[in-house]
Structure 1
Amino acid sequence: MGDLIHRLQTRAFELTEAQRRIADYVVQHPMEVAFLTVDKLASTVGTSTATIMRFSAAVGYSGFSELQKELQANMKHKAAPQTRLEANLKDANKSELLQQHVELQLDNIQYSLDNIAEGTLQEIIKKIEASNNILCTSVRSGRPVGEYIAFGINRILGNCKYIDADKSEWVDESINLTSSDLIIAVSYPRYAERIANMLEVAKSCGAEIVLITDSYSSPITKYADFILPCSSASAASHNSIVSAIFIVDYILSALAINYPERTKPRLDKINEILTKMSYHTKR
């Protein structure tokens, strides 16, 4: 549904009043729309089947069935893990599972590339470099992404900390935030309330927020200044972090390359200390 929400956001001004009414119903009742016939949807919304078809075309689909396929896929990926696994088992081909996995992850990465403007990435990179303090937060399946970007930023800039939103210590950290600070949050379905709690406090303190999530329809997006949609679809039951790691890895690379006058001396000093400690195994 993230792609659909993005299309609605960018094309809303082109829709007629009747089409906007359909759009509102789709956003508010995605599970229902995913399995309604076009006739039933038209009757429910109080419009014609022709208007439903024109709406589908207006937001970039070949027809209502294509729009439904996206909704159905999205419902499968946002359901509870056991439900997702059950749904994916119906489509799985064990003899071709590796190839299916590769294709799915390539689609996930392409989704991010299609939905994140390069200008947005560059603005985020500048914001990270300019921030006084950076807090990265996540829970559960998003934790590897949150910890990875926090470690990477702190290693090259020295002003970043990871906080688990499931632990109450975030309250102590958040109350000192200012407009010069930045929060980078990772939130996947089924979206933890603790992430929303932390971002709400951070927002009230004036901090800016970068959100890595699965789609524009994520309920946490209302707190974000920057949204990085990274599909978490997997071939089984878990939220996949592949596309998010891809985007985060680019951000870390760009930080190091764009600001060598700041990052290189720090990395040199870290290496000097580790070498004196004989930290690394001698080959």
Structure 2
Amino acid sequence: MDDLIHKLQHKVAGLTEAQRRIADYIVQNPMEVAFLTVDKLASKVGTSTATIMRFSAAVGYSGFSELQKELQSNMKHKAAPQTRLEANLKHSNKSKLLHNHVELQFQNIQYALDNITEETFQHIVEKIASSRQVLCSSVRSGRPVGEYLSQGINRLLGNCQYIDADKSDWVDELVHFQSDDFIIAVSYPRYAKRIKDLLEAAKSYGVEVLLITDSYSSPLTKYAQYVLPCSSASAGSHNSVVSAIFIVDYILSALAINDPERTKPRLDQINHMLTKMSYHTTH
């Protein structure tokens, strides 16, 4: 954080009035800015996203994401849930909490859509469908995303399993992985070391990785061939999984629709077995 403040102080004389407002907001709210989308920051400061980008360049960064990456790197120890809650309490309005929550989640989803191309989606869907086996893994706040995606892929294709990276079971599985297999990992701040261990091992085995994380500035992106940036910003203290669930739900839909000759017979067989077991209640 000291390095960033030094840069801001050194450059302040050459900044416009709007850019100085941005600098002031960052200095006063570094933890909050570290996890804001550029649109949200622009709204809070009362300026445009283009001004945020020009400001980032003016203080020596290639873009806002690089500035934010430095903030996140310097403030990892402050990114605890209670600290996020403290930051959100400063700007929350309880009477408008539902409205603000909905607005924030729309922004989270839009952030993902703005940063993921259709070509990337297509490559990921094709990779999952063509893989011999798929391993989904996550920890803690990423678990709902990993489990949901794993169950959906396995129901459609029968080639996926979920393993909690906090357990060592993934080691037993990974030693048998080959280059035609695929790993999907989910990790949000404060980026669990167990996920990093898994991805390092995957890289050593030549297994390609899809990483679902909060942004391209995540320290885990260097291990992945594919990255789906899904903002985890919330109005409270937790990592929100709303945008990630939205994105992986699309992936599951694409898998089902793109290859019905493969997915429909499997769904029919599963339904037949469940019906035979009287699995679903009729009352």
2: distance between equivalents of 1:141 and 1:58? 32
2: distance between equivalents of 1:274 and 1:130? 27
Query: Residue 89 of structure 1: SS of its match in structure 2?
Result: helix
Report the counterpart of residue 240 of structure 1 in structure 2: 240
1: distance between equivalents of 2:142 and 2:214? 11
Report the counterpart of residue 182 of structure 1 in structure 2: 182
TM-score, normalised via structure 2 length = 0.79
TM-score, normalised via structure 1 length = 0.79
Report the counterpart of residue 205 of structure 1 in structure 2: 205
1:206 Cα deviation (Å)?
1.3
Q: What is the CA deviation profile of residues 184-205 of structure 1, one whole-angstrom value per residue up to 9, with x for unaligned ones?
A: 0001000001001011111111
2: distance between equivalents of 1:231 and 1:128? 23
The structure-2 alpha-carbon separation of the partners of 1:270 and 1:49, relative to structure 1 and needing over 3 Å to count, comes to same
Query: Residue 176 of structure 2: SS of its match in structure 1?
Result: coil
Report the counterpart of residue 223 of structure 1 in structure 2: 223
The structure-2 alpha-carbon separation of the partners of 1:113 and 1:272, relative to structure 1 and needing over 3 Å to count, comes to same
Q: What is the CA deviation profile of residues 28-59 of structure 1, one whole-angstrom value per residue up to 9, with x for unaligned ones?
A: x5x752x5673x2439xxxx836xx8xx9999
Query: Residue 220 of structure 2: SS of its match in structure 1?
Result: helix
2: distance between equivalents of 1:133 and 1:125? 14
**Structure 1 unaligned runs (5+)?**
1-28
2: distance between equivalents of 1:165 and 1:140? 9
Report the counterpart of residue 83 of structure 1 in structure 2: 83
1: distance between equivalents of 2:165 and 2:64? 35
1:71 Cα deviation (Å)?
4.1
1: distance between equivalents of 2:279 and 2:247? 30
Report the counterpart of residue 191 of structure 1 in structure 2: 191
Do structure 1's residue 42 and structure 2's residue 11 form an aligned pair?
A: yes
Report the counterpart of residue 36 of structure 2 in structure 1: none
Number of aligned positions between the proteins: 243
1:236 Cα deviation (Å)?
0.7
Report the counterpart of residue 9 of structure 1 in structure 2: none
Q: What is the CA deviation profile of residues 50-92 of structure 1, one whole-angstrom value per residue up to 9, with x for unaligned ones?
A: 6xx8xx9999725359959x849x7599711100000000000
Report the counterpart of residue 102 of structure 1 in structure 2: 102
2: distance between equivalents of 1:114 and 1:154? 28
Q: What is the CA deviation profile of residues 260-279 of structure 1, one whole-angstrom value per residue up to 9, with x for unaligned ones?
A: 01100000000000001111
The structure-2 alpha-carbon separation of the partners of 1:261 and 1:41, relative to structure 1 and needing over 3 Å to count, comes to farther
Q: What RMSD over aligned residues (CA atoms) do the two structures have, in Å?
A: 2.9
Do structure 1's residue 249 and structure 2's residue 249 form an aligned pair?
A: yes
Report the counterpart of residue 120 of structure 1 in structure 2: 120
Q: How does 1:150-169 map to 2 (within 5 A)?
A: 150-169=150-169
Query: Residue 234 of structure 2: SS of its match in structure 1?
Result: coil
2: distance between equivalents of 1:238 and 1:213? 14
2: distance between equivalents of 1:179 and 1:49? 52
Report the counterpart of residue 5 of structure 1 in structure 2: none
**More displaced 10-residue stretch of structure 1: 200-209 or 239-248:** 200-209
1: distance between equivalents of 2:128 and 2:175? 20
The structure-2 alpha-carbon separation of the partners of 1:270 and 1:135, relative to structure 1 and needing over 3 Å to count, comes to same
| AA partner of residue 111 (structure 1) | Y
Query: Residue 162 of structure 1: SS of its match in structure 2?
Result: strand
1: distance between equivalents of 2:267 and 2:123? 24
Q: What is the CA deviation profile of residues 131-175 of structure 1, one whole-angstrom value per residue up to 9, with x for unaligned ones?
A: 000000000000000000000000000010001100011110111
| AA partner of residue 177 (structure 2) | L
Do structure 1's residue 63 and structure 2's residue 55 form an aligned pair?
A: yes
Does structure 2 retain, via aligned residues, the 8 Å contact 1:175–1:201?
no
Provide the identity percentage. Answer: 63
